[in-house]
């Protein structure tokens, strides 16, 4: 198998060992945090990297939750089904500590935070638009499902032009919503997310990255006009003073890989040159997103997993370009 066969724009699911055409999967690696109350949106607006106050019922947005040092504690897909309710889909393994931390800052705000994963099930679909979705639905548009209380479908970016949706549904909705869809796995969903260049903070990578290190602002997850939130000064300084020295890149490997594993480059084998952000296994290959040093990307040599002599990695192509950094580093993808 060549790297080109796994590059965005090539629908070679069979070669990669994945499902084809119309499929759906219960993404049990994702959970749902619910903020409800008169001040729910305003509270999250002051905590996250995104403009939550401006979130409309027909739109979803990416967001990050940072520490005071600007390091990501969690990443979310946000949707606002009612004026007093915001749902935040995140990695299930960071939901509990994130909920605990956010709850410390509610204070007098009229906002109740809860783990709503038992009330809402997260599905991923690929291959066709769902009932209620326009055939040309833009990324991050939100459509209600068949019945008023069934849930919502979020059109999400795809790396190869095939429609994908993240579905937040009431338990038991699947038979009516996804009739005829082939069964897939959460790995299939995350495989496509990786090829779309969408980062997701998991327990293995909490507090490892400033948002720009994982391209969060490039995929719409940071609003630089919204005002203060924890870590905002660090995030803004990285953006406007050109201090981003690391970016997220796409790789593939023959070996199994775990998030949080270090990457090494031949140009400087004495120290790590990157860290794995997300992984997904399909057939004989692993796709991974990794935060890496820009200097190493510009240097000749190979990338290795885990140690300077570790398994070699193949470089892939993201579906979007990096900006030219303020220090003159070249844009790359």
DSSP secondary-structure letter at 321? P
| pLDDT over 70 at 10, yes or no | no
Residue 7 lies in a domain: no
Residue 173 dihedral angles phi and psi, to the nearest 5°? -80, -25
Residue 5 is predicted with a pLDDT of 28
Q: Which domain holds residue 129?
A: 18-183
Q: How many residues does the chain have?
A: 333
Q: Which residue has the higher pLDDT, 325 or 23?
A: 23
Residue 227 lies in a domain: no
Residue 273 lies in a domain: no
Residue 193 lies in a domain: no
- As to burial, measured by CB atoms within 10 angstroms (0-12 exposed, 13-18 middle, 19+ buried), residue 300 is exposed
Q: What is the DSSP string of 113-167?
A: EEE-TTT-EEEEEESSPPTT--TTPPTTBEEE-SSTTTEEEEEE--SSS--EEEE
Residue 199 lies in a domain: no
Residue 14 is predicted with a pLDDT of 37
Cα separation, 51 vs 42, in Å, equals 9
Cα separation, 104 vs 112, in Å, equals 12
Average pLDDT over residues 269-291: 96
| pLDDT over 80 at 83, yes or no | yes
What does pTM read for this prediction?
0.91
> For residue 134, what is the domain's CATH number?
3.30.1360.120
Cα separation, 89 vs 151, in Å, equals 13
Given strand 23-26, what is the order of strands in its sheet? Answer: 142-144, 151-156, 164-169, 121-126, 23-26, 182-183
- Beta carbons within 8 Å of 44's beta carbon, 6+ residues apart: 35, 52, 63, 78, 86, 88
* Domain count for the chain: 1
Residue 124 lies in a domain: yes
pLDDT digits (tens, 9 = 90+) for 126-142: 998 887 787 778 899 99
Cα separation, 151 vs 1, in Å, equals 40
- Beta carbons within 8 Å of 269's beta carbon, 6+ residues apart: 308
Cα separation, 135 vs 17, in Å, equals 28
pLDDT digits (tens, 9 = 90+) for 144-196: 987 777 899 999 998 788 999 999 999 888 777 788 899 999 999 999 999 99
Residue 122 lies in a domain: yes
Cα separation, 15 vs 10, in Å, equals 11
pLDDT digits (tens, 9 = 90+) for 214-239: 999 999 999 999 989 999 999 998 88
Q: What is the DSSP string of 178-207?
A: STTPEE--HHHHHHHHHHTT-----GGGTT
Residue 30 lies in a domain: yes
Cα separation, 225 vs 23, in Å, equals 38
Q: Which residue has the higher pLDDT, 266 or 172?
A: 266
Split at pLDDT 50, 70, 90, the class of 327 is: very low
């Amino acid at each position: 198998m060549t790297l080109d066969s796994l590059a965005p724009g090539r629908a070679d699911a069979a070669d990669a060992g994945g499902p084809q055409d119309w499929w759906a999967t219960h993404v049990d690696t994702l959970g749902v945090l619910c903020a409800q109350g008169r001040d729910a949106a305003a509270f999250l607006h002051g905590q996250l990297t995104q403009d939550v106050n401006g979130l409309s019922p027909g739109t979803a947005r990416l967001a990050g939750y940072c520490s005071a040092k600007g390091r990501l504690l969690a990443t979310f897909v946000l949707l606002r089904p009612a004026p007093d309710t915001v749902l935040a889909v995140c990695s299930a393994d960071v939901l509990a500590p994130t909920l605990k931390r956010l709850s410390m800052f509610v204070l007098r705000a009229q906002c109740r935070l809860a783990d709503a994963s038992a009330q809402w099930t997260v599905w991923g679909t690929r291959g066709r638009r769902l009932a209620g979705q326009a055939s040309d639905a833009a990324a991050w548009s939100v459509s209600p499902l068949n019945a008023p209380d069934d849930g919502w479908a979020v059109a999400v970016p795809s790396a190869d032009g095939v429609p994908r949706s993240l579905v937040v549904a009431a338990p038991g909705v699947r038979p009516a919503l996804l009739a005829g869809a082939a069964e897939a796995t959460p790995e299939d969903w995350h495989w496509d997310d990786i090829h779309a260049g969408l980062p997701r903070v998991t327990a293995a990578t909490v507090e490892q990255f400033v948002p720009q290190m994982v391209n969060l602002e490039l995929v719409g997850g940071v609003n630089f006009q919204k005002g203060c939130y924890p870590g905002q000064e660090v995030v803004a300084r990285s953006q406007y003073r050109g201090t981003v020295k690391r970016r997220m890149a796409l790789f593939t490997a023959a070996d199994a890989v775990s998030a949080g594993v270090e990457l090494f480059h031949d140009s400087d084998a004495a120290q790590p040159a990157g860290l794995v952000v997300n992984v997904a296994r399909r057939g004989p290959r692993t796709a991974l997103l990794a935060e890496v040093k820009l200097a190493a990307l510009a240097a000749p040599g190979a990338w290795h997993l885990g140690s300077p002599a570790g398994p070699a990695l193949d470089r892939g192509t993201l579906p979007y370009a990096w900006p030219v950094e303020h220090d003159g580093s070249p844009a790359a993808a």
